Chains A and B, each alone.
Chain A
Amino acid sequence: MNGSPPESPESHLSERQRRPFLRPWQAVALPLIATAPVLLMLAERLPWAWLAPFLGRFHPVVLHFPIVLLLLAGCLEILQIAGRGRWEFPVTLVLFLGATGAVTAMALGWLLMRADAVTGGLIEAHERDGIIVAVLAVVTLSARLLADARRTPLPRWAGRALLAVTGVMLFRTSHEGARVTHGEEYLEEHAPWFKPKPKTVFAFPLSRPVLQWDLYAHVVTPILQARCYECHAARKAKGGLLLDSWANVQRGGKTGGAVVPAKPDESLLFQRINLPFEHHDHMPPRRKSQLSAEEMALLRRWILLGAPAQGTLGSLHLDNRLVTVVGQLPGLLLDKNAVVPDASDEEPDPAAVAKLRGDLAGVVAEMQARYPQVVAYESRQSGDLEMNAAVAGKSFGDADLAAVGRVAGRIVWADFSGTAITDRSAAVVAAMKRLRVLRLGRTAVTDLMAPALGKLAHLESLNLFGTAVTPALLPAIAPINSLRRVYVGETRIASDAACPEGLRGKILFPATFSQARSASPARRAKPAKLVVLTFDDAVKSHLTVVAPLLRELGFRATFFITPRWMGDQSNFLTWAEVGQLHRMGFEIGNHSWTHADFGDPNTGKLLGGELQRVEAELAKVGVPKPISFAWSGNAFGPEGIEELKKHGYQLARRGMQPEVLYGAVKVGPALDVRRHHPLLIPTTGDAYPAWTLEHFKEVVASAQLEEIVVLTFHGVPDPAHPWVSTPQEKFHAYMMYLKEAGFTAIALRELANYYDLSSPPADRLLGTRSGRDAAPPKP
């Protein structure tokens, strides 16, 4: 070891090179020059006064430069020490730039604070530390420059210590700044040791009736707390305004007192919140949660009352509507960020569920204790609520709803059917903004509820069954896009009411029997066991066998007369005998003159003339003009129907066709007066010789409750037409069965009692035609 100690790198440099690139005084002066604009801005009367707030907004941009540069200076210095002279970095230059940035950022920050008039603990600490950082940076730079120039006895380590202190202060300052912008828990929020600060606790005295709540402490304070404290309380006071105590509210901010007692419109607090949302000075700022109309009304009312520090709702005579709103406040205020979860079978994480239920869990538990079975979570996975007040019935009224309304914003399903709630609950209903299903059936609500209903933008199903609502309510709910069903049974909204566009197809009218009946007042309820007996073709045995038996059993019937075969007087009736049947009390019906195929379009048009010919003959034997007709050969068609209508025929019987093939021993359709046109009355059973009593029973049993069995017979027996003949013994057995089973037998004309002939049903066979029966099955 004979050499000299290692030379410092500087020792190799020439005198000129060693000269600092700045004179110390220049180095200090330059950062100060950076603050010059600020000094100018102080003169607020200058025409460019706008520059101050404008430049202030650059604080968050500029501050990153000194942070990076000062940290870089520190790092380079450490590397330089560690490198034992192997490297040389322009530390001083970096430090110079950093110090300049620090001073600039400080200056801009100060401008920002002034312009936005932000005060508060956190801001003030940031302000103080920012100044310290800037000063420290400048001092460190000066010390270094002095040391470089060897003009100071300060040891080298002192300069390094100063740099270290600057770095520490820099950390502190930037952390405070970050807490101002991102929120106080931003950095630590996900750290394992982090304990969240308890969420805002609103001082709602939930156990007390709403009227005993204190207007300032329990109503105004929570509103301010929820909507204003973020910027106007404790550690932050934008515009110099603190709203966290009554005294602070009175003191106001830099633009003056916040409230003028009794004059809301002159009170800055109310003016600002009442400005249009687009207005630059509107409060709360755009991206913050806004006051609801109800909350504003409450603040206004409080100011009107002189902004008192004390006094209960009761003593201040708050009107009912506002008292109702007060009841919902906890729900409104707490529910700022309710989340809509997807219903699924997936097992939910209990922690996630607890988070969904969040702050309201306590309120809900309290509600559940007070109204058991009424308030419940939608499911075990959900934070949303269902309200089933219907189980409480009439004991549940507006007052109860006002109290339950505290959780209004979370309710997605509500059933108030049969409760005592009225239109006075409109405000609470309107507050249930997330409702999907609302049932107001059998309550006293009226059209006055309409505006509230119109506010339920997520409503899917609305039940107004049995209320006094009228069509006037409908326009209010028509714009709700999500609405799918509106139940208006037993209301004054009739099915033919004008329906606003948007509700078309969504209104459900119950298919009530009462409506059906009111549409056809003449319709009678039919006896349970009813058959219509008809006898075709004027067969002799109608008078000799059928009529006496029916008379004996007290049965009525219709005989359809056609002169087609009446020339054969041994097997068929004479006109005189037809008159005799009429006088026995049976109905005489028209069966056409020629028994032709009136399903044929050309023949169909001739039916009118045929009807008249028969009518004329009947008139001669004292039989009045018939109202019943039987389609001859079971053929029918639209032309024939027109003829029948023209000639005043009200009822016409067809065969079992097209439902059942002619000649088959099958059960035909039973008459349903709601389905079958009165001029196309089907035959349920067309008697053939092959019929058995069992088949007859089946035919008779085939009618449903509202249906009527129509039976067609020919002769009993019918020697001329044996394929439709009914043996006398069988006929006797059939009729005896009807009698014993308690049936009533009627004539076709009596069906007018059960038909609404003024509005006949749209039979699917109308407009179609059916040809004459295929060749009759030969025996």
Chain B
Amino acid sequence: MKDRESQLIRELETQRLEAQTRRHFLRTCATGMGAMFLSTMANRAFGSAELDFTRPAVSPLAALPPQFAAKARRVIYLHMAGGPSQLELFEHKPDLEKLNGQDCPQSFLAGKRFAFITGTPKMLGPQAQFHQAGKSGTWLSDRLPHLERCVDDLCFIRSMRTDQFNHAPAQLLMQTGSPRLGGGASLGSWVTYGLGTENQNLPGFIVLVSGGKTPDGGKSLWSSNFLPSVYQGVQCRAKGDPVLYLSNPAGVSRGLRREVLDAIEEADRQEHAALGDPETLTRIAQYEMAFRMQISASDAMDLRQEPPEMHAKYGTEVGKESFANNCLLARRLAERGVRFIQLYHWGWDSHGSTESEALNLGFHAQCRQVDQPIAALLEDLKGRGMLEDTLVVWGGEFGRTPMQENRGGQANKFIGRDHHPGAFTIWMAGGGVKPGFGYGETDAVGYDIVENPVEVRDLHATILHQLGFDHRKLNFRFQGLDQKITGVKPAKVIRDVLA
């Protein structure tokens, strides 16, 4: 019985498929294809023409004009990896002090998932003193006395949020627009893809890492992913060779290197003549750039050229790998026309499980490591007139909870807070953002956003806007999609923060 039934079904299926002809296909498709055609035409007619980013194969990093007149020409992105606590730096929450030590209200916990907090944690009052600073009267904690001098140049976004509560995905989202490894190309790559770079003797996208650890997101954070690999970030080091494998091996002089490159170029040109692959020309260009970089990168990265007072200002020590050194390098690179300078500084993961992670102990040292150099960088850029068109962005991948972390239900050994994706603070400076301005607001304890939430993609759209791009237009066709850093969800430029 069963057999006969299934046989019947099979037969009917076969008959149905046999009845499906080419005509059926075309008829079914007609509406779909028509719509596709129409949408393409409509796109052309209504002016969403695609921007052309093609460049000569020999100069893939050649500068291109922005889509519209830009306010910022370059970006210095100071990524504070680990998730710095907004409640000890920028978010003044006197009510949190009153709740210190009390049980966290259940309304905060219902339906929420935390990286480490379990059960009912205690609320944790601010572990720093706050005061109003600058002409803008911005509330600032005592942890950043140097940055206080620049507070009237900063534009705070106090209502950032993300949907990732672990470091690597959150960092990836922040830097590439996608929380997955290989999900997106990094912001620096997009920017160099869109604008190229001014100085053809240096990479357009340079990455400097400090804090003793590469951030959890790893090198994917500065990957170009589907964008051509020339747009990926080049990690430079403050110590030793600025770029690995750049200098000549022992026994090879620069003259010899030149001869080798000439010979390789000759061979490449023959190959290109024979096969016509434009990637061959790219390779020639890359070899040439590496050769030029042997001089220019070493020069740009040589902090010994800076006068002693500059070292005193930044708190730098030649030959050390430190955030301070990287800040000074960032200024030198910006001065030389590098488009996107990405700094990572690890060490903000203030759980309170060790002394260095304690908000009342290690956090002080952590703040000290960045406070003076950032203030020095901002003042230096400002004094040189570069802050007008350099967009400086400061921020981590998420914020921290107003509750004290209780890993495994026990209060941690030291005072700390858990990861908090729901609300955190970043700031920007220069590059046409409003100075001495604050945007967005959180509730009385800094847990939820009550006004003007800003998604990561909104931040990306805003940064790209300052660089002269509509984020929807800065795209790249890959896997059948017009890939863009803001993804498929709607993103908006935060116009209120623009000067």
Which residue numbers of A lie inside 8 Å of B, CB to CB? 343-345, 347, 349-350, 372-373, 376-382, 388, 390-391, 417, 437, 439, 441, 461, 463, 465, 485, 487, 489, 508-514, 517, 525, 659, 667, 669, 672, 694, 697-698, 701-702, 704-707
Contacts and interface: CB of A to CB of B under 8 A. Distances in A.
Contact of A510 (B66, B361, B368, B379): B379
18 contacts: A347-B49, A373-B199, A376-B63, A379-B68, A437-B388, A463-B384, A465-B385, A489-B383, A511-B149, A512-B309, A512-B383, A513-B312, A517-B312, A525-B312, A667-B360, A694-B361, A702-B364, A705-B371
Contacts of B199: 373, 391
B62 A373 contact: yes
Given A379-B468, A463-B385, 6 more contacts: A372-B59, A373-B62, A439-B385, A701-B361, A704-B143, A704-B367
B296 to A, nearest CB: 10
Contact of B384 (A347, A388, A465): A465
B313 A379 contact: no
Nearest to B310: A513
B69 A672 contact: no
Contact of A373 (B143, B198, B310): B198
Contacts of B383: 465, 487, 489, 508-512
Interface string B311-332: 0110100000000000000000
Contacts of A372: 59, 62, 200
B407 interface: no
A704 B146 contact: yes
A220 B449 CA distance: 69
Contacts of B380: 510
A441 B65 CA distance: 24
Interface string B393-425: 000000000000000000000000000000000
Given A388-B198, A485-B385, A510-B380, A380 B51 contact: yes
Interface string B23-67: 000000000000000000000000111010000000100110111
A517 B312 CA distance: 10
Given A388-B198, A391-B337, A704-B145, A511 B67 contact: no
A140 to B, nearest CB: 55
A707 B361 CA distance: 16
Given A347-B48, A510-B380, A376 B337 contact: no
B313 A380 contact: no
Nearest to A674: B145
A229 B142 CA distance: 72
B146 A705 contact: yes
A382 B360 contact: no
A376 B62 CA distance: 11
A380 B65 contact: yes
Contact of B313 (A343, A376, A437, A512): A512
B70 interface: yes
Given A345-B470, A510-B382, A705-B371, A382 B69 contact: yes
Task: Determine chain B's interface SS by DSSP, over half rule.
Answer: loop
Contacts of A347: 47-49
Contacts of B470: 345
Contacts of A376: 63, 65
Interface of B: 47-49, 51, 59, 62-63, 65-70, 129, 142-146, 149, 198-200, 307, 309-310, 312-313, 315, 335-337, 360-361, 364-365, 367-368, 371-372, 379-380, 382-385, 388-389, 465, 468, 470
Contacts of B142: 669, 702, 704
B385 A659 contact: no
Contacts of A373: 62-63, 198-200
B388 A701 contact: no
B188 to A, nearest CB: 19
Q: Which of B49, B144, B384 lies at the interface centre, i.e. has the most chain A CB atoms within 10 A of its CB?
A: B384
A463 B388 CA distance: 11
B65 A379 contact: yes
Q: Which of B59, B312, B383 lies at the interface centre, i.e. has the most chain A CB atoms within 10 A of its CB?
A: B383
B382 A704 contact: no
B48 A382 contact: no
A439 B384 CA distance: 10
A495 to B, nearest CB: 11
A438 to B, nearest CB: 10
A701 B365 contact: yes
A672 B133 CA distance: 15
Given A382-B69, A698-B360, A705-B146, A510 B62 contact: no
Nearest to B48: A347
B129 to A, nearest CB: 7
Nearest to B150: A511
Contacts of B307: 514
Nearest to A385: B65
B126 to A, nearest CB: 12
8 closest residue pairs by CB, A with B: A510-B383, A343-B69, A463-B385, A487-B385, A347-B47, A514-B309, A513-B313, A489-B383
Nearest to A386: B65
A536 B360 CA distance: 27
Contacts of B146: 704-706
Given A347-B48, A376-B63, A391-B199, A508 B382 contact: yes
Contacts of B48: 347
Contacts of A659: 129
Given A347-B48, A487-B383, A701-B365, A461 B388 contact: yes
B145 A672 contact: yes
Contacts of B313: 512-513
Given A439-B385, A705-B146, A697 B67 contact: no
B67 A379 contact: yes
B201 to A, nearest CB: 9
A485 B388 contact: yes
B384 A510 contact: yes
Contacts of B384: 441, 463, 465, 487, 489, 510
A698 B361 contact: yes
B67 A441 contact: no
Given A485-B388, A508-B385, A517 B364 contact: no
A379 to B, nearest CB: 5
Nearest to B363: A701
Nearest to B468: A379
Contact of B66 (A380, A388, A517): A380
Contacts of B468: 379
Contacts of B65: 376-380, 382
A194 B385 CA distance: 50
Contacts of A381: 67-69
Contacts of B69: 343, 378-379, 381-382
Contacts of A489: 383-384
Nearest to A509: B383
Given A513-B313, A707-B145, A345 B361 contact: no
Contacts of B382: 508, 510
Contacts of A513: 309-310, 312-313
Contacts of A390: 198, 337
A752 B485 CA distance: 55
Nearest to A670: B142
Contact of B198 (A391, A441, A465, A509): A391
Contacts of A377: 65
Contacts of A514: 307, 309
A593 B6 CA distance: 110
B309 A379 contact: no
B384 to A, nearest CB: 5
B145 A706 contact: yes
A54 B59 CA distance: 67
A40 to B, nearest CB: 64
Nearest to B47: A347
Nearest to B324: A705
Contacts of B67: 345, 379-381
Contacts of A391: 198-200, 336-337
A487 to B, nearest CB: 4
